[in-house]
Structure 1
């Protein structure tokens, strides 16, 4: 199966390394609630403020912010994309079907989890669920695809 949007197979190992480091760092950051001033830098915020009705809101502001969580999130996303969208050594019709079925399953499962959260989780904890929900479709896809591939 010839697809233009897949990365070469050599990207898979660096992807796994990035994904693993990102997930471990993300879990550590979440559990420990670690805050560091080590990577506090000036950043450009496209929009600043909790709501449009407060006095200190605005577009295109320079803020001081720790970028540790942003680096971890980007590491998870980039590593996950590299793992999920790198060619297999043998890229045939069967792998294509596994990939397609895994992607559909991951999206459906992700939205079932999200609907459950909408119904049963409230307040600031719901915001945490939405943050984790950025990563779950990609992670569900990788887990499901590799599970089906190993089982075949």
Structure 2
């Protein structure tokens, strides 16, 4: 199966590393009450800027794109179908979440959910695609 938009499989491990580092760091950053000192690193405070959120976002986006859009070791038509089905499923689920957010969440909390919503299509896609791969693999054995 010819897929010009997929990267080489060699980037998948780097993608998982960046993605998981970003997601775990993001969760820890949200849980910590004091965001001034993260993992013993004094944050850059010049001109009132705090770059940690942006660094975590970049890790999640780059890592997620590498995980989601690198070839599998065996890239056949079945994997192509799983990838497409997962992408469609992720977009639909993302917009259902967004619709529910618009209806039920207001003010500052709405903006917070919109920030998380930047990452949900990629996260939903990765979860669904890998779940289907594992499920298919377990049925074959």
Q: Secondary structure at the match of 2:49?
A: strand
> 5+ unaligned residues in a row in structure 2: which ranges?
137-141
5+ residue gaps, structure 1 = 43-62
Alignment-derived partner of residue 14 in structure 1: 14
Q: Which has the higher helix share?
A: 2
- Work out whether 1:40 is the aligned partner of 2:24: no
How far does residue 36 in structure 1 lie from its aligned partner after superposition?
Answer: 2.5
- 1:97 aligned to 2:73? no
User: TM-score w.r.t. structure 1 length?
Assistant: 0.82
> What residue number does 1:28 align with?
28
Deviation at 1:34, TM superposition (A): 3.8
Structure 2 matches for 1:46-61, cutoff 5 A? Answer: none
Looking at secondary structure, tell me which structure has more strand per residue.
Answer: 1
SS of the aligned residue for 1:71 comes to helix
Q: Residue 132 of structure 1 aligns with which residue? A: 116
For residues 105 and 34 of structure 1, what CA distance do their matches in structure 2 show?
37
Tell me which residue corresponds to 1:144: 128
The alpha carbon displacement at 1:41 in A equals: 5.8
Residues 40 and 9 (structure 1), Cα distance of their counterparts in 2 relative to 1, 3 Å cut: same
Size of the aligned set, in residue pairs, is 132
Indicate the RMSD between aligned Cα atoms, in angstroms.
1.3
Structure having the higher Rg:
1
Detail structure 1 runs of 4+ shifted over 4 Å in the superposition: none
